[in-house]
Structure 1
């Protein structure tokens, strides 16, 4: 969302200020519309089963919304079937992706009890639903490195490579299911 908003605002400002700077504004040819940025694919999530992790789910989704333009994660409206279900359980966090953008995320209390950051767990598991695989071992700067940097890592944002992969997954012809490796056994560890 960040780039699309900024780009549209800058373009409008430039067109309005051009005559003030001694230039001429150029009108579009009749019958042609300005090129709009592609709309983000909206995915809804249901965190009603996330128990004490509901706010972490919202913050994990917000981290993705701040980081990518091609997809937007929103809470499902009451009675609406969600693309993503988020549940709390007592095991280790993991995701069970279906098709790209659909699946179930489990926020496991075992990792939380060991000191792992709940928002990082959520953002990481949502990354699996968005088509990303684990990248282990990896640094804290890589969201998909999961638990490998240790419980002290609180980074909730994807790195440039992870952002680019999600953008590719959700634009144009790339709206197909992610590679099998992204779907099988997706977990924080």
Structure 2
């Protein structure tokens, strides 16, 4: 009888020691698109694009009574983002880029990318979401590359700190 108890205890201890680490809880970021005017649906589309590509963070419309992590506005300038910390800040859906022919869902997904910790990478490649306005105006790829998605998953899977920043799409 004693031998069974010891064996059961050892099995339990070994199971604990070899168990795979627990997955980090998904971080939910709430966004407020109520000031995005005619671009509300595009903002929601940009959020859904990220939600379909990453697993450590989700972008959700802010529920009533809760403060948003992200505020989204529309104006007549160029798209731009102001981050206060990883997952927090505000961004603008600038009509200048839309009027120039840039694809609105790509703009929205790109600006959310800044909130999620990604800088501009002016590679000129349509396959790189964070290449922004350096990609051709005809580019309609609104999906992050596998590297961009993996970077966001890594940032939200750890306690890494991302400094506040300002990002604008206007090419110099």
TM-score range, shorter chain: 0.7 to 0.9
Q: What's the counterpart of residue 25 of structure 1? A: none
| TM-score, length basis structure 1 | 0.77
- Contact 1:125/1:188 (CA < 8 Å) preserved in 2? no
Q: What's the counterpart of residue 144 of structure 1? A: 130
Larger Rg: 2
Deviation, 1:124, is 0.3
**RMSD of Structure 2 on Structure 1 (CA):** 1.9
Deviation, 1:81, is 0.7
Between the aligned partners of 1:161 and 1:102, the Cα distance in structure 2 is: 22
Across the two proteins, how many residue pairs are aligned to each other? 157
Between the aligned partners of 1:123 and 1:78, the Cα distance in structure 2 is: 24
Greater strand share, 1 or 2? 2
Deviation, 1:37, is 2.5
- In structure 2, do the counterparts of structure 1 residues 172 and 137 end up closer, same or farther at CA, with 3 Å as the change threshold? closer
Unaligned segments of structure 2, at least 5 residues: 1-10
User: Deviations along 1:13-63, whole A, 9 cap, x unmatched?
Assistant: xxxxxxxxxxxxxxx848958754322110000000000000000000001
Deviation, 1:172, is 2.2
Deviation, 1:177, is 2.0
- Contact 1:125/1:187 (CA < 8 Å) preserved in 2? no
Q: What's the counterpart of residue 141 of structure 2? A: 155
Alignment pair present for 1:91 and 2:72 = no
Unaligned segments of structure 1, at least 5 residues: 1-27
Alignment pair present for 1:111 and 2:97 = yes
Q: What's the counterpart of residue 39 of structure 2? A: 53
Q: What's the counterpart of residue 42 of structure 1? A: 28
Between the aligned partners of 1:172 and 1:148, the Cα distance in structure 2 is: 30
Work out which of the residue numbers 154, 158, 162 in structure 2 matches 1:172. Answer: 158
Runs of 4+ in 1 over 3 A off after TM superposition: 28-36
- Contact 2:124/2:136 (CA < 8 Å) preserved in 1? no
